[in-house]
């Protein structure tokens, strides 16, 4: 067979195997969820060879989605590492044949500890399956290699079923984005979900603020001295009523010329596109996730966002460039 056609055949075979797993999401799968969710301990995932490699990945996925888990190497377990298994844990065994000696030898220890054993296998009538508390069948018509020997289809199907188990557990535990971020503080996901607006915003004396009645000469001075390319406009109670940007100022100069200096901040704002359309300034609260600020700015194609307190008084400014520096974008 042509090598390219062989590659396509591999994908077709493995895709069919994964698709067939959908019919296996039933009573046994639901019971596996119940056992794991109700357990007080961790999920001990074990397997050897290629199944062992998939077991490592499933353990990592479970842990990162709110189900504490770790991989136990069967050979190392027989020489002391089985001591890491405690009452209250759940064991998830991966074995295509269901007759792996190294794994089968661990069953008596698991039984003495009273630890439930869930086996993921293509052989539901195998010795390992018969000694397990629950079997998750992974039907594999054939491996994708031309000799039907190299673990390919079977490991892909196990990986997919492991992912399905992890995500279903995530749903059962009401695991949120914030929970996920807490487990990934060092990555880009963590930065997006853990940074708050108040962590990134300009605040205090850095925030340009003018009163509605201030003349444009003072407005320009405030904008220039704070160097954020904009200024907030507030009323007599300090509440945000408008915003003027460098762009607004340039457009005003084109239309009004030197007469712009005779305008008040409020008059200038009302002559801007936002003021003309009576569109309230876009704002966000300091306790909101920085990722929400990114979403608002992307939707409205703006590069800064005003941060207000519960009385609608401006207390900060979030700039797109600062969000990018923090890795939130």
Per-residue H/E/C for 202-253: EEHHHCCEEECCCEHHHHHHHHHHHCCCEEEEECCCCCEEEEEEHHHHHHHH
Report yes or no: 31 and 77 within 8 Å, Cβ to Cβ: no
What is the model's pLDDT at position 202?
Answer: 96
What is the model's pLDDT at position 118?
Answer: 98
Q: Which CATH class is domain 197-325?
A: alpha beta
Please name the residue ranges forming H helices in the chain: 3-20, 27-38, 50-64, 74-77, 101-104, 107-113, 127-130, 153-172, 177-183, 188-194, 197-200, 216-226, 246-256, 265-271, 273-276, 290-300, 320-325
* CA-wise closest residue to 151 among 271, 32, 228, 50: 50
Distance CA 211, CA 28 (A): 67
Report yes or no: 181 and 204 within 8 Å, Cβ to Cβ: no
CATH T-level assignment (fold) for domain 3-175: Rossmann fold (3.40.50)
What is the model's pLDDT at position 185?
Answer: 60
Report domain extents, the chain: 3-175, 197-325
Tokens of 61: 């996925």
pLDDT along the chain (329 residues), means of 10: 92 95 95 96 96 97 93 92 93 94 92 95 95 95 90 96 96 80 63 81 95 94 92 95 90 82 91 77 92 91 94 95 83
Radius of gyration of the chain (CA): 30
Report yes or no: 13 and 153 within 8 Å, Cβ to Cβ: yes
% of the chain residues with pLDDT over 90? 72
Report yes or no: 328 and 195 within 8 Å, Cβ to Cβ: yes
User: In terms of DSSP bridges, do strands 209-211 and 202-203 run parallel, antiparallel, or are they unpaired?
Assistant: unpaired
What is the model's pLDDT at position 265?
Answer: 93
% of the chain residues with pLDDT over 70? 95
Kindly report the number of other CB atoms within 10 A of residue 249's CB atom. Answer: 20
Distance CA 90, CA 116 (A): 5
User: In terms of DSSP bridges, do strands 283-284 and 304-308 run parallel, antiparallel, or are they unpaired?
Assistant: parallel
What is the model's pLDDT at position 184?
Answer: 61
What is the model's pLDDT at position 192?
Answer: 65
Distance CA 139, CA 205 (A): 66
Direct distance between the N- and C-terminal alpha carbons of the chain, in angstroms, rounded to an integer: 47
What is the model's pLDDT at position 255?
Answer: 82
């Amino acid at each position: 067979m042509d090598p390219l056609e062989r590659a396509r055949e591999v994908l077709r075979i493995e895709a069919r195997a994964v698709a067939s797993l959908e019919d296996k999401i039933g009573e046994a799968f639901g019971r596996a969820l119940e056992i794991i969710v109700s357990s007080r301990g961790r999920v001990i995932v074990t397997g050897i060879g290629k199944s062992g490699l998939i077991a490592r990945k499933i353990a990592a996925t479970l842990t990162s989605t709110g189900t504490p888990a770790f991989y136990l190497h069967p050979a190392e377990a027989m020489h002391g590492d089985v001591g890491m298994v405690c009452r209250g844990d759940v064991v998830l065994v991966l074995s295509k044949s269901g007759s792996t000696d190294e794994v089968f030898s661990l069953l008596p220890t698991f039984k003495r500890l009273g630890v439930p054993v869930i086996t993921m296998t293509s052989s539901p009538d195998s010795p390992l399956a018969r000694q397990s508390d629950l079997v998750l069948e992974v039907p594999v018509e054939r491996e994708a290699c031309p000799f039907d020997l190299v673990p390919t289809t079977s490991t892909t199907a196990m990986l997919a079923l492991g992912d399905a188990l992890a995500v279903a557990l995530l749903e059962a535990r009401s695991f949120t984005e914030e929970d996920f971020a807490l487990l990934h503080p060092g990555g880009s996901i963590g930065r997006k979900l853990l940074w708050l607006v108040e962590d990134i915003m300009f605040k205090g004396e850095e925030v340009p603020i003018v009163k509605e009645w201030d003349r444009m000469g003072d407005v320009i001075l405030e904008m220039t001295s704070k160097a954020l390319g904009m200024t907030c406009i507030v009323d007599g109670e300090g509440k945000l009523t408008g915003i003027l940007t460098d762009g607004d100022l340039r457009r005003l100069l084109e239309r009004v010329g030197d007469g712009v200096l005779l305008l008040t901040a409020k008059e200038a704002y009302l002559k801007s596109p936002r003021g003309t359309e009576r569109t309230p300034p876009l704002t966000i609260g300091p306790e909101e996730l920085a990722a929400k600020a990114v979403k608002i700015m992307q939707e409205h194609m703006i590069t800064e966002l005003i941060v207000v307190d519960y009385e609608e008084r401006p207390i900060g400014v979030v700039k797109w460039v600062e969000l990018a520096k923090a890795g939130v974008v």
